[in-house]
Amino acid sequence: MVEGRISPRLSTSLPVLLQFPESDVPEGWGRILDLSMSGVRVETRWNLKIGQVVYITFVPQSEMRLDNLRARVVRFTWEDGYFVGGLVFDESVDQAYLREVLMYLVSR
Amino acid sequence: MRQVLIIAPTPSVRDYLVNVSQQAGIVAEGIESYPAGIAQLEKDPPVLVVLENPLKDEDISKLTESLRLHAPVTPFIVYLPERNGELALRRMAQGAYDCLVPPVSAGDFLAAGKRAVSRVGRRLITDKTLLPPAWWRRPSLYVYAFLAMMAVLLGTGLYQWFTSTYRVYRLSSEHPTAVCGVQNEVWVTDWFQQILSRFRVKGGYLALEDMVKWGDFQPVAVAAAPYYVYTASADGHIRRHRRDENLPVVASVSSPGSAPSGLTWDGKTLWSCDSDTKKVYEHDNQLGVKNSFECPAQVPVGLAWHKDTLWIADGGDLPVLWRMVYKGSGFSSDGPYPLTIARKYKDLKISGFTIWKGRAWLVNETGRVLIQHKMPKGKN
């Protein structure tokens, strides 16, 4: 059963690098539309698949970079040439650092 | 009027992007240098800027500054010479809405352009529509596939419903002896209960409309005419009833044989069959015998006219139908025509038969069912 994100979401428009380890296309990019402690919603022109593992990298500010956060695609829709997908973070993601990033984005 | 400004110092890249833009149905203008492009957008701001990846970051900075001052609602997209995630991330962090890499399809160009301008509340005007790059990945495809599958299943079910060889309806009657179709109703007699039941066929079941009970005879055959109903009874009589509420008897004659088993009305004349004499009788207006004919059935239990052909139901060892065609001097018969339902109901013994709405209707001597059966195709 797919679970929706249960933590509050922060709307944003951050550029994001997407890496697809199990795909013919190794990387792509897009934008994070919203972010929470449990996952992100992204838009991208690169194909998404349900259950796909994606490593995401984004830079909320110049001294703050989150590299290769492991996530999994849990849903997506296709909107006029873009895939808008929901990705849920893996347990390996550093929750403390993620919280710090969210705090920073909220305060901006 | 051009909507897109393409700033690309490399001629091949410029021509390429202008061509792609045209394929996407968008009017674009190609500019060969960043300074010229910036000057152009200051003079006549476009809806969208597409920029060949600059070699220097300061070119991006000048462009973004110019856009901020002169075209604050004009987004820009960067064309990269090859896929490079880090470079794309950097360009997007510098203000590009998205980055395109070769090969750029008209769909990619249109999608990125429309998305970028829609974010600032504007739109690109084009008559082209977007197709998904990987159509099989569209989530709605699975919905459509499911709906198509349901439609196929429903269609198959409906097809079988309407074209099935037979359909069985439950009857409460334990001794049905005759059936006839009257307009929108089907009538069934029960000799033991001495009743005639009138039903409406509603989908897969029978809705009882009315019932008439006779106390003094046991009906074994029934036929309906415009003003009268005719019955044959186990005591060897044929009766004429007025078509009133209780079907009162207005005439009664002895049947030509001792075991009348079927009656039918051809529009002008009453016909009957007898399971003892194994004959078919044509009656006159006084219910006397006008003509008689040999019948091919082992045990004729019902008869019905259908398209100038007289069909006889056989209640003998095998439940079959016989066909009799009138040819001037008499009838020629052919058959037997087996009934497919006999494969399922091995002990089927027909006790009553009629043809109504193009289908054969039969009742079973062992009771409880009314069978609607596809008419067999007669040989010429």
Give the SS3 label for residue B152. helix
**Sequence-separated (6 or more) residues with CB below 8 Å from residue A36:** A5, A7, A8, A9, A10, A102
Is B85's CB within 8 Å of A77's CB? no
pLDDT digits (tens, 9 = 90+) for B321-332: 999 988 877 888
- pLDDT for position B342: 83
Of residues A28, A48, A81, nearest to B110 (C-beta): A81
What pLDDT digit, counting tens, does each position of B57-81 carry?
A: 888 888 889 988 888 889 999 999 9
Residue B147 has pLDDT above 80, yes or no: yes
Q: Is residue A60 part of a domain?
A: yes
CB contacts of A19 in chain B (<8 Å) are 85
> What pLDDT digit, counting tens, does each position of B151-187 carry?
998 998 887 666 678 888 988 888 999 999 998 999 9
Distance CA(B50)–CA(B38), nearest Å, equals: 12
pLDDT of residue B313: 95
Q: Which of the four pLDDT bands, split at 50, 70 and 90, describes residue A1?
A: very low
Contact B134 A47 (CB under 8 A): yes
Structure tokens at A57: 């990298």
- Contact between B88 and A57 using a beta-carbon 8 Å cutoff: no
* Per-residue model confidence as pLDDT tens digits over B240-298: 999 888 899 999 999 999 999 999 999 899 999 999 999 999 999 999 999 999 999 99
Taking CA atoms, B23 is separated from B16, B103, B108, in Å, by 11, 14, 11
Look up the domain containing A100 and give its range.
Answer: 10-107
Q: What is the side-by-side order of every strand in the sheet holding B185-190?
A: B176-182, B185-190, B195-202, B205-213
- Residue B380 confidence (pLDDT) above 80: no
**Considering only CB atoms, which chain A residues are within 8 Å of B89?**
15-17, 29, 57-59
In a domain, A5, yes or no: no
Q: How many Cα atoms within 13 Å fall on the side-chain side of residue B46? A: 29
Residue B379, pLDDT score = 58
**Among candidates B89, B114, B115 on the partner chain, residue whose Cβ is nearest the Cβ of A17:** B89
> B92: nearest CA in chain A?
A15
- What are the structure tokens assigned to B165, written together? 């060889």
Residue B136: pLDDT over 70? no
- Residues of chain B with Cβ-Cβ distance to A43 below 8 Å are 115
Residues of B in contact with A29 (CB under 8 A): 85, 88-89, 92, 98-99
Interface pTM, i.e. ipTM: 0.91
Q: How confident is the model at residue A17, as a pLDDT? A: 96
Instruction: For B9-26, write each residue's pLDDT tens digit.
Output: 999 999 999 999 988 889
DSSP H helix total and E strand total for chain A: 1, 6
CATH number at residue A24: 2.40.10.220
CA distances, B217 to each of B158, B212, B231, B260, B304 (Å): 43, 12, 10, 13, 23
Location of each CATH 3.40.50.2300 domain in chain B: 4-131
Tokens 């203000």 -> residue: B95
**Beta strand ranges found along B151-242 (DSSP E):** 166-170, 176-182, 185-190, 195-202, 205-213, 219-224, 228-233, 237-242
Q: Is pLDDT at A2 greater than 50 in this prediction?
A: no
Q: How confident is the model at residue B132 (pLDDT cuts 50, 70, 90)?
A: low
Answer whether residue A26 is part of any domain: yes
Residue A47: list chain B partners with CB under 8 A: 133-134, 137
Cα(B101)–Cα(B81) distance, rounded to whole angstroms? 6
Residue B133 has pLDDT above 80, yes or no: no
What pLDDT is attached to residue B90? 93
Within a domain: residue A4?
Answer: no
Say yes or no to pLDDT of A68 above 70.
yes
Q: Which CATH class is domain B164-374?
A: mainly beta
Tokens of B274: 């007898």
| B111 vs A contacts (CB less than 8 Å) | 45, 80-82
Question: From the list A28, A59, A80, which residue is nearest B111 (CB)?
Answer: A80
Considering the domain B4-131 in this protein, what is its CATH number?
3.40.50.2300
Shortest distance between the Cα of A30 and any Cα of chain B, in A, equals 7
B269 or A7, which is more confident: B269
The count of structural domains within chain A is: 1
Which helix (H) or strand (E) segment is B158 a member of?
A: helix B139-163
pLDDT band (50, 70, 90) for residue B126: confident
pLDDT confidence of residue B119: 86
Q: Give the distance from residue B139's alpha carbon to the nearest chain A alpha carbon, in angstroms.
A: 6
Taking any CB pair shorter than 8 Å as contact, residues of chain A touching chain B are 13, 15-19, 27-31, 43, 45, 47-49, 57-59, 76-78, 80-82
Say if residue A3's pLDDT is above 60. Answer: no
Establish if A84 belongs to a structural domain: yes
**Could you report the per-residue pLDDT of A43-56, keeping only the tens digit for each?**
999 999 889 999 99
pLDDT, residue B173, reads 85
Q: In Å, how far are B22, B25, B79, B131, B212 from B126, measured between CA atoms?
A: 10, 5, 21, 14, 75
According to CATH, where is 2.120.10.30 located in chain B? 164-374
Inter-chain residue contact B133 with A45, CB threshold 8 Å: yes
pLDDT at A8: 75
**Residue-level pLDDT at B6:** 95
Band (pLDDT 50/70/90 cuts) for residue B135 is: low
Which pLDDT score is estimated for B2? 79
Strand B237-242 and strand A39-44: the pairing is unpaired
Distance, in Å, from the CA atom of B376 to the CA atom of B275, rounded to the nearest integer, reads 23
